[in-house]
Structure 1
Amino acid sequence: MRLTPAHKTLIALSCAAAFGGFAATAMRDALESPALASPGAATQAPAIAALPAAVGTTPLPSLAPMLARVTPAVVSVHTKQRVRVSPFAGDPFFRRMFPELSQERINESLGSGVIVDAARGLVLTNHHVIEGADEVSVTLSDGRTLKAEFVGSDPDTDIAVMRVQAPNLSAITFADTTELRVGDFVVAVGNPFGIGQTVTSGIVSAVGRSGLRGLGYQNFIQTDASINPGNSGGALVNLEGALVGINTASFNPRGSMAGNIGLGFAIPVKLARDVMGQLVATGEVRRGTLGLETQDVDARIAQGMGLSETRGAVVTRVFAGSAAAQAGVRVGDVILAANGERIDDRNALRNFEGLQAVGSRVTLDVLRDGKALQLGTGLREQPRTLAGTELDPRLDGATIAELPASLRQSGAGGVLVEAVARGSRAARNGLQKGDVIVAASAGSFDDLPGFRASFTPAPAQLVLRVVRSGRQGDLLMQ
């Protein structure tokens, strides 16, 4: 978007007059729930001296006309969660002996959301805003409070979709974020700290930002607009009032309550829109996978392969029948880019895969034996669960699943034992529901495809390394 002198003047004025802060939570591992509401407390914004309407005969530019269109589409999200509180919280034995002493408590919290489809009443917000909630309602800018119906959510991208029913809803339009550039002006709207709808402004500090700990699959827009608790799920818009992103997080080494330091992050609207489409259609998100395992390029590997930079993902295993196998990827190939996106390490490749839908076409830039190649393929669906008997008879009766997002985002790897049938062979071998398998006879692995690959060929002796209740041990499967 080309900026006129009027736009530049507008931003200078809006930055000077902006009140409060908007936007999301701190890094999710620092703040796991939005700011708590203060029941019964109504906060009134302080009065601010108005700027003159003109300087001489020249009218001053203003964001007000654009915001008049945008703010009716931004809502406050209220959640309630019922929890049982025991006076013996630290003692499991007494909790079980005296369950009648537990009392129900209702936790309330606040966030923000954006109406993106007025006809169907669809509202976009963050997964962590509504996670675990028993009741969710939204308050419109005109004061109406509506009960919200949960449509679906995706923890890995932190996107959730709700539905409300009411006449005269206002929806926001989607921007084309492919043209978004560092330095473009953006405006954020949300409900920080529960004080009411607030607008702040800034610029795009970076695009395609990733590598932030604890935030799942990442392709963030970074902005210096103020990000504060309670604005998770709020709108980041351009100067035309079109939705650029969904605000999701801020970063401050001292925690979110220490204040804004100009490091805010928003989910690009294209990603949010793609995820929403799958959630509305099926209630879940299906992801594509290349079907391979990789490791980081270190200095030794870079030197041995003649790489000028210590970066990339070295292929260590290609699964039979996978998209990577169909493309001709081989063990020892170094993946340097995917669809033109730079791949610095194995996490960058996993992040890229996790943001692609099933069937997406992918072009890989590969270095093989010192020669640059381009390999193309279509991604296939990433399985979520496997029956143990599909892998090995010694696992009969067990259901193996991908780790939940909360564990993966904390840095854990491996697979989850989702269920174990009573009296089954897996049960007799000592497997229990909730076990996390982190290694097998063939070695360690990160995910379900890696676990499956460890059974090719089938090991003569099968030993599983299991984490159970924080303790690690080995199980011999017979």
Structure 2
Amino acid sequence: MLQLLATRRGCSRHGPAVQTKRSSGVQSKATTYSAHPGFGARSRATLMALGLGLALALGQAQGAFARAPDSFADLAQQISPSVVNITTSAVVSGPTSGGPIVPEGSPFEDFFRDFMDRNNRGGESAPRRSEALGSGFVISEDGYIVTNNHVIENADEIEIEFFSGTRLKAKLVGTDPKTDIALLKVESATPLPYVTFGNSDLSRVGDWVVAMGNPLGQGFSVSAGIVSARNRALSGTYDDYIQTDAAINRGNSGGPLFNMDGQVIGVNTAILSPNGGSIGIGFSMASNVVTKVVDQLKEFGETRRGWLGVRIQDVTPDVAEAMGLSEAAGALVTDVPDGPAKDSGIVAGDVITQFAGQPVRDTRDLTRRVADSPVGEAVPVIVQRDGKTETLQVTLGRREEAEAAEVRPAAATPAEPQEAEILGMTLSPVTDALKQSLGLPADAEGLVVGTVDPTSEAFAKGLREGDVITEAGQQKVVRIKDLEDRITEATDAGRKSILLLVRRAGDPRFVALGIE
């Protein structure tokens, strides 16, 4: 099983080193032309020109594919003064870990038990100070430093060690756990050497990169590799990682990933590993995400992301077919609680195709665009609804405030009890008894899923007992007949599937089921 590991030394989210490997260049081969007795001077000149052109082309190709730097020394010398080692400490309590391991029944077992008991009277160890190591980099001469949130999380003391050997205490300016970024500040009597951010969107797969940090607590270290992949998403809502084979080890967390111009294009964060050892896959949060977070932390001490106020899912090919869409793109709205979207007229079943003048590829694309938009800004949102396009103006709220509020499903009405087998499921309308037994809200409505045929498409697509179908064909269903009518309408319209809105524990999602 692969594990995603952070790279802070002394933290449970550690990661090992990553190996890097160079490729050889392309070799060209000279071509010799012999003069034919029937060729005139013009023909020979033409052949000579062609030969020269071919040689130049091959030389350019060789340069393009084999342009590896002779050395990274000049770049390392340029960027090293801005990279820092970070030591954090915190007072922890509870039993100490890492004590001697003695086999059961060993003659030393009683000795070590007595020894530990004397040092752990009362059943708990005395408070102790725990330390961890990480990396970071200076982004301004007045002492702002970027690192990972998990490097400084829960720390009560943060010390910065500079390349020169100078040590300064740092204070925490702000953190963003969603992107694992933290901003620190030190006070220095002299201006500090610093580095600037580059445009991570310009980095290409195959570009050379350099990682720098404090691996394994050994001090400042440089490693080189290439960009292995772009736009990696791991587990966060705003993930945009650069994958690299440059060595990223324990203690590298928070350190910079540089391009060959000495600009920071990523913050080294994690590696992928099956057992804590290296398999050559490291991840750095892209600078174009980091810069927005850093600017907000510097200005407000916290993030202030835009909030649209919708629940969404990707438009899959079967969902697109069920809705009569021309392509599987955009973000399908599954629920609209009280908030900016509801105030602007967006409803469940709308497909958001454009936001603020830019096309929306999928839910991840929309989420990031909304988050990057200023709070309180009015933006145009284009949706597809019932085969037509509508443009709505939405004034964005603040996501951090919205996340603190409880989001509940829309109101519902009771229905007459009955039961039927449809699309491989046993369905019955919501009743008071079902609300109580399933823990549904008092205003719940729809069709409750009973048994699901394990061989059915419904089972394959994740429908299970206790799910509540609230819409079919983008219309509310309260009775069995409502669903049957929607299936008939979809069949008459020549569609091969029907779109169901399904809620589980209050969370909605759309599922397209075949009706042929």
Matches of 1:223 and 1:323, distance apart in 2 = 39
> Is residue 79 of structure 2 the alignment partner of residue 70 of structure 1?
yes
Alignment of 1:290 with 2:280, yes or no, is: no
Q: TM-score, normalised by structure 1?
A: 0.61
Inter-CA distance 63–32: structure 2 relative to 1 (3 Å threshold): closer
Gapped regions of structure 1 (runs ≥ 5)? 1-26, 38-59, 89-97, 386-399, 404-412, 415-437, 445-464, 467-478
**Partner of 2:473 in structure 1?**
none
Amino acid at match of 1:75: V
Aligned residue type for 1:149: K
After superposition, give the CA deviation of every residue in 1:35-80 in whole Å (9 maximum; x if it has no partner): 229xxxxxxxxxxxxxxxxxxxxxx843222221211100011111
Question: How many Å apart are 1:312 and its aligned residue?
Answer: 4.3
Between the aligned partners of 2:267 and 2:384, the Cα distance in structure 1 is 36
* SS at structure 1 position matched to 2:257: strand
Structure 1 residues 308, 199: CA separation in 2 closer, same or farther (over 3 Å shift)? farther
Matched, 1:180 2:189: no
More divergent stretch after superposition (70-79 vs 357-366): 357-366
Residue 223 of structure 1, CA deviation? 2.1
Contact 1:227-1:260 at 8 Å conserved across structures: no
The aligned counterpart of 1:171 is 194
Cα distance in 1 for residues equivalent to 2:339 and 2:124: 56
Amino acid in the other structure paired with 1:267: M
Change (3 A) 1:291 1:284: same
Q: CA RMSD in A?
A: 3.6
Name the residue aligned to 1:236. Answer: 257
Shift of 1:177: 3.0
| CA deviation after TM superposition for structure 1 residue 176, in Å | 2.8
The residue that corresponds to 1:432 in the other structure is none
CA distance in 2, matches of 1:443, 1:135: 50
Cα separation, 1, equivalents of 2:393 and 2:77: 46
Distance in 2 between residues matched to 1:102 and 1:316, nearest whole Å: 51
Q: Deviations over 1:85-129 (max 9, x none)?
A: 1489xxxxxxxxx9784411222111100100112x100001111
Q: Is 2:277 the partner of 1:258?
A: yes
The change in CA–CA distance for 1:193 and 1:316 in structure 2 (over 3 A counts) is: same
User: Within 5 A, what are the aligned runs for 1:94-133?
Assistant: 101-119=124-142, 121-133=143-155
Q: Distance in 2 between matches of 1:313 and 1:204?
A: 29
SS at match of 2:127: strand
Describe the shift of the 1:260–1:380 C-alpha distance in structure 2 as closer, same or farther (beyond 3 A). Answer: same
Shift of 1:401: 2.6
Q: Which residue of 1 aligns with 2:218?
A: 195
* Amino acid paired to 1:148: A
Structure 1 counterpart of 2:404, which letter? A
Tell whether 2:159 aligns with 1:156: no
More moved, 264-273 vs 140-149: 264-273
Alignment of 1:292-307 (within 5 A): 292-297=310-315, 300-307=318-325
Over 3 Å counting, the alpha-carbon distance change for 1:133 and 1:205 in structure 2 is: same
Distance 1:251 1:132, change over 3 A: same
Alpha-carbon distance between aligned partners in 2 of 1:102 and 1:292, rounded to the nearest angstrom? 48
Question: How far has the Cα of 1:161 moved from its partner?
Answer: 0.6
For structure 2, the residue ranges without an aligned partner over 5 or more in a row are 12-68, 98-120, 409-438, 446-504, 507-516
The one-letter code matched in structure 2 to 1:316 is T
Paired residue secondary structure (2:404): strand
Residue equivalent to 2:108 = none
- Contact 2:4-2:270 at 8 Å conserved across structures: no
Contact kept? 2:5, 2:271, Cα under 8 Å? no
Q: 1:401 to 1:442 in 2, by over 3 A?
A: farther
CA distance in 1, matches of 2:122, 2:441: 40
2:331 is the counterpart of 1:331: no
Identity level (%) = 38
- Asked whether 1:280 is paired with 2:303, we answer no
**Superposed, which structure 2 residues align to 1:318-357 within 5 Å?**
318-319=336-337, 322-323=340-341, 325-326=343-344, 329-336=346-353, 338=355, 340=358, 342-345=360-363, 349-357=366-374
Q: Does 178-187 or 369-378 show the bigger shift? A: 369-378
Instruction: Flag the structure with larger Rg.
Output: 2
Residue 269 of structure 1: aligned partner: 287
Is the partner of 2:292 in helix, strand or coil?
helix
Residue type matched to 1:164 in 2? V
Instruction: For residue 173 of structure 1, give the secondary structure of its aligned residue in structure 2.
Output: coil
Aligned equivalent of 2:332: 314
